[in-house]
Amino acid sequence: MVSLTLVEEAEQDKITANQFFKDKKYLVSIEWYTKAIEKNPSVPAYYGNRSFAYLKTECFGYAITDADKALELDRTYLKAYYRRAEANMALGRYKKSLADYDTVRRARPKDKDAQVKFKECDKIVKRLAFERAINVDSLKKSVIESVDMENMVVEDSYTGPKLGDDFKVSLQFMEELIAWYRNQKVLHRKYAYGMLISIKKYFETQPSLVRVTIPSSNKFTVCGDIHGQFYDLLNIFEINGLPSETNPYLFNGDFVDRGSFSVEVIFTLFGFKLLYPDHMFMARGNHESINMNQMYGFDGEVKEKYSKNMSDFFTEIFNWLPLCHVINNGVFVTHGGLFQEDGITIEDIENFDRNRQPPESGVMCDLLWSDPQCFSGRSASKRGVGVQFGPDVTNAFLERNRLKYVIRSHEVKDEGYEVSHDGKCITVFSAPNYCDQMGNKGAFITLKEDLVPKFTTFDAVPHPDVKPMAYANNLLKMSGFM
């Protein structure tokens, strides 16, 4: 039995946590909710509140665990059903979300919010079932087969950047494209499709693990998540220079979603990849997938600026993005992290069949979703997908593959980067003030031939008045996600 003093202290901790949550200091609020739980573990609301904070920090696995605990204490605590539904929805587990929304709307038949969320989730489940049914006969056909490029007319009124009949990208085109995008204008669909066709053909020829060599006279820059923050991407180029044969870059996944200029980001990156294929590198992130794109905005943005066909074509292209890189035979770079199983080699990854949507377990899933932890061993993922891996796991992987350290992205860091596992695991995140509310810096890493990392941090820059998540799924926006 909890003493009256602890009950009162726990309630005060909850009040403190609520204020931090209101101030959008979600990690701090989690610490205070945890203190309240430690003092009085029998209050469902403490778990429900912490679950919401975990949702805000994308710890969907932890959010589900807390919602489950709240319901274990009180099956009638409806907020927990909401939290669990929202977490499963964020992971693309729509049927599980639907079941929880159904529970809430049955318990509260007059609650309009519960009814609307159930109906929206039901629409998603039915739409996905319909799409699976109609796609059965066309699984081997590319979307581009239905696009009539020859008869696609560039109207006289279009005054933006143009490509020739071969759709070959030049530096002049890229400079004009960046200026065009700065002014919030859209590249003509004919040139957009031409670039996408070229980039898909290129990525189809690449291995799942790409080996990169830094010339002795050059630096090499690694960037983390961009998440549709186009104007912050341009700031990186202002600080560090445009990609070129003497200024190579690796962008380590999550180019799109959340930020509402994802189309501009992806065409800019693809353009430089086409211009400098041996000096511009791109790896797949967990957000280069259909579930994430349909929830977090890229799918909606492409449909708004172009068409459903083009959105579907992006899905095909993302399936061919490499999963990771090795720099100078010493640095392993991937979006998420390491593996649930020992014994994985870079040769295993190099030959991995990646042309698919990411599964919920296995090598590909771990590369895109996993996170480091400070203690040894492995733990269930805070995200609900992938695994958390300790310094011993990192050391074993590096020793097995004769590598020096790991660079990964995938997590917001206050300073834009974090060094962990005794310097052998580095996180880099390049989207400052993530979603216009996290207050973090962005960062990028520069390397030379000796592979000693140099960190550059930067603040967010102003962008046009289009809020993050402007194109996100309606249900996601209704649920209070950033």
Could you give the strand order of the β-sheet that contains 209-212, starting from the edge strand earlier in sequence?
209-212, 324-327, 331-334, 405-408, 425-428, 417-420
Q: Which of 188, 287, 335, 410 is catalytic?
A: 287
Q: Facing residues of 280 across strands?
A: 249
Cβ neighbours, 10 Å, residue 436? 16
- Tokens of residue 376, six digits: 């040894």
Active site residue 335: no
Reading the block at residue 22, the tokens are 């209101």
Ranges of beta strands (E only) in 241-283 are: 249-251, 280-282
- Residue in the structure block whose two tokens are 């909890």: 2
Hunting for tokens 């550059």 — which residue is that?
Answer: 456
Q: Which of 351, 350, 432, 422 is nearest to 393 (CA)?
A: 422
Residue the block writes with tokens 């605990």: 69
∠ CA 399-400-404, nearest 5°, is 40
Distance separating alpha carbons of residues 79 and 113, to the nearest angstrom = 12
SS3 409: coil
Residues 222 and 416: beta-carbon distance below 8 Å: no
CA distance 77 to 44: 7
Question: What is the C-alpha separation between 214 and 449, in angstroms, rounded?
Answer: 6
Q: How many whole angstroms separate alpha carbon 480 and alpha carbon 246?
A: 44
Residues 6+ apart with CB under 8 A from 78: 103, 104, 107, 108
Contact 339, 389 (CB under 8 A): yes
> Whose CA is closest to 80, among 109, 108, 101, 111?
101
- 75 in Cβ contact with 45 (< 8 Å): no
The encoded tokens of residue 194 equal 């031409």
From CA 231, how far away is CA 460, in angstroms rounded? 9
CA 21 – CA 34 distance, rounded (Å): 13
From the list 237, 226, 233, 230, the residue with the least C-alpha distance to 183 is 230
Q: How far apart are CA 167 and CA 196, in angstroms?
A: 10
User: Please, is 471 exposed, middle or buried when counting C-beta atoms within 10 Å of its C-beta (0-12, 13-18, 19+)?
Assistant: buried
> Residue 208: CB partners within 8 Å, gap ≥ 6?
322, 323, 324, 349, 350, 351, 352, 353, 354
Catalytic residues: 287
